[in-house]
Chain A
Amino acid sequence: MNSREFDGPIDDLLRQALQPFAEAPPPVRVWRRVRRKVSTAPFAWWSRLWSRLSVFDVIYAPPLPSQSYCIESEGRFLPSPFSGMIMKQVFNLRLTS
């Protein structure tokens, strides 16, 4: 609940002045853009899985038929050249340590 302290004529004026921003809804195309982005997000399932794991800072996922990849601690995917070489080493080191 809003405080009565901010319920005078000057507050009404502020509300009215901001009203034009509330009158135009966002265009429908925004949802289409969101949907396209999240649908094409690669390996979204791995990202969700990783956010629930906290054992390692970096996880290496074995390569798919066409591409190798890795996921770092914030769920982001690092590009393939790094994942195949560097991250595998990191993972192996952590497993053996």
Chain B
Amino acid sequence: MPQDAESRLVRQLQGGDLAALGTLFESFKDGVFRTAWAITRDERAAEDILQECFVRLHRYAASVDPQRPLKPWLYRVTVNLSYDWLAKKQALQPLDDVLEWLSGLSNVFPAPDHKAEEQELHRMVRDVIAELPTSHQTVVVLFYLENLSLEEVAEVLEVPVGTVKSRLHYARKRLRDALTQRQRPVPEIAYEFT
């Protein structure tokens, strides 16, 4: 959406126009939803976060600067709501449940037979991402899923660009290590055949 159209919609929303909120919702709902889903790994939580994000936009519309792009504001709210959700989930669940939840992440997208190997690789990548600290996962999601630039990710998370880069480097290193590990034969089996 062009910036001038977005600015106009924000001003209309500030004047109480719900149709403007609807147009903004249509423009940004997919990005907000998939970001929340990728961080929380819970589709229902992502729905709730999407809802709350736009309720907050309505509530705090007057504090939004119409001259600036809305996207960083929306992503910031989405990330914060996702963090809150994760914190609540971890506080409510006993440790065993959390471990079970983490191990079940690979089954979020079951693989069809014809693409089993590729899907297996992607599942492993998602597992590596899920094992990263939440702040690093968020950078990976915003950069690789949402295609935000390094500068935009830095703006959303209110961190320096250097921090964004170092988190991406760390994620790539973890993935490279996991891939190397995957290609290496299991030592016990190697021993049996030598």
Q: Give the B-binding residues of A (Cβ under 8 A).
A: 1-3, 5-6, 10-11, 13-22, 24-27, 29-31, 33-35, 37-39, 41, 44-45, 47-48, 51-52, 75
Q: Are B25 and A18 in contact (CB under 8 A)?
A: no
Contacts of A26 in B (CB 8 A): 29-30, 33, 46-47, 50
Identify the closest chain B residue to A26 (Cβ): B33
Q: Give the A-binding residues of B (Cβ under 8 A).
A: 14, 16, 18, 21-22, 25, 29-30, 33-34, 37-38, 43, 46-47, 50-51, 54-55, 58-63, 108-109, 121-123, 125-126, 129, 140-141, 143-145, 147, 149-150, 165, 168, 171-172, 175-176
Identify the closest chain B residue to A2 (Cβ): B149
Q: Are A30 and B62 in contact (CB under 8 A)?
A: no
Contact among A21, A35, A39, A44 with B145 in the assembled complex (CB-CB below 8 Å): A21
Contacts of A33 in B (CB 8 A): 51
Q: Are B59 and A75 in contact (CB under 8 A)?
A: yes
Contacts of B33 in A (CB 8 A): 25-26, 30
Contact among B29, B58, B168 with A44 in the assembled complex (CB-CB below 8 Å): B58
